[in-house]
Amino acid sequence: MIVILKPGVSIESMGELVDFIQDRGLRIGRIVRGDGRTVIGLLGEEQRIPIDRLRAFEGVEDVVPVERPFKLVGRELQPEDTVVRGRGFAVGGGGFTVIAGPCAVESKSQILECARFLKAQGADVLRGGAYKPRTSPYAFQGMEIEGLELLAHAREETGLAIITEVVSAEDVEKVGEFADILQVGSRNMQNSRLLRRVGKSDRPVFLKRGQSATLEEFLLAAEYVVAEGNANVMLCERGIRTFENYTRNTLDIAAVPLLKQLSHLPVVVDPSHATGRRDLVVPLAVAALAAGADGVMVEVHPDPENALSDGPQSLTFEQFTEMMGDLVRVREALRPHLAEV
């Protein structure tokens, strides 16, 4: 940790600070004097002193951490890629996984029709929301337990693994009885109670980035899960909130190679939520593959015009088929050692 002091800080203030640091078992590397500012380098395990404690000192202008705040999810501790495996799927390790399905489970025929189509097209995992966190209390909130049962039925029929969102710590156990993968949504990325609870589950966790979360905050959210013992975490970039409003969010495509550098966890892109417009989903799914993602999650609906939620961003079956063709061609061009998408 580097501590930059204000110009003209008193000897007494600096003395208090030095005592504080040494009391916590760190040593002062050396005092470097630049033009008008004093700078202190700390030696030792910097996590022993929370950064805010140092910033609270009157004489301190700024504190710069040298170590990253996340540990378990970082590449430094584990250089090799994590591969998350389950019922017929593997995410990470060089392949490219396609997770697809409707935003929300709406009926038996809807989810079955989708699941059969997606299985035939080569998708790896079926998505479908049973509990829907919505901005308005008056919007459709999901079929809940009945939706979970329909997902399980679709799995029986097709063999596809299923992923669905869990919105509260209270529900982790119940949802885990049905789902192969537990999704934690954007709105809950910093719901620490929920993160801890899924960290105690034996189900893989699919963690979506909060819409205004920095990459560091995103990785710290994943750290909450892994710190509880569940190492099977996938990171999902799904767009961040910016001033641009032609699209629902702004897909942060650079997050893909960056997260792959910083962390060993697999990185999946959701171009459906990132844009909110189905005409942009296919080009951005292919771009995600080109940028190095381990997979995509897309919304597909047999009849988007009658979808109960997210119709405008749901692919038609025809568009999904087109996307799979492009993905196969680009995967072969960039990752020729792989046998299939």
Within 207-246, the residues that bind a copy of itself by CB under 8 A are 211-212, 214-217, 220, 223-224, 227, 240-246
Residues 71-130 that bind a copy of itself (CB under 8 A): 76
Residue number with CB closer to a copy of itself (119 or 211): 211
Tell whether residue 304 is a contact of a copy of itself (CB under 8 A): yes
Q: Which of 42, 99, 143, 161 binds a copy of itself (CB under 8 A)?
A: 42
Q: Which of 7, 88, 122, 229 binds a copy of itself (CB under 8 A)?
A: 7
The string of DSSP codes covering 257-299 is HHHHHHBSS-EEE-HHHHHS-HHHHHHHHHHHHHTT-SEEEEE
Tell whether residue 167 is a contact of a copy of itself (CB under 8 A): yes
Nearest distance, CB of residue 254 and a copy of itself, angstroms: 5
Residue number with CB closer to a copy of itself (31 or 120): 31
Q: How far apart are CA 134 and CA 327, in angstroms?
A: 31
Helix or strand (DSSP H, E) at 215: helix 215-227
Distance of CA 267 to the CA centre of its chain: 7
Nearest distance, CB of residue 161 and a copy of itself, angstroms: 26
Sequence-distant contacts of 304-309: CB under 8 A, at least 24 apart: 304/278, 307/102, 307/103, 307/104, 307/106, 308/103, 308/104, 308/106, 308/140, 309/103, 309/104, 309/129, 309/132, 309/134, 309/139, 309/140
Residue number with CB closer to a copy of itself (58 or 156): 58
Tell whether residue 286 is a contact of a copy of itself (CB under 8 A): yes
Tell whether residue 50 is a contact of a copy of itself (CB under 8 A): yes
CB-count exposure of residue 56 (10 Å: 0-12, 13-18, 19+): exposed
Phi-psi region of 9 (alpha: psi -120 to 50; beta: other; left: phi over 0): beta
Residues 239-278 that bind a copy of itself (CB under 8 A): 240-247, 250-258, 261, 274-275
Q: Which of 146, 283, 321, 338 binds a copy of itself (CB under 8 A)?
A: 283
Tell whether residue 338 is a contact of a copy of itself (CB under 8 A): no
* Number of chain residues interacting with a copy of itself (CB under 8 A): 112
**Of 258, 276, 277, 278, nearest to 267 (Cα)?**
258
Q: What is the x/- site pattern for a copy of itself, positions 125-164, by CB under 8 A?
A: --------xxxxxxxxx-----------------------
Nearest distance, CB of residue 156 and a copy of itself, angstroms: 29
Phi, psi at residue 279, to the nearest 5°? -70, -10
Q: Which of 10, 32, 93, 122 binds a copy of itself (CB under 8 A)?
A: 32
Q: What three-state secondary structure class fits 99?
A: strand
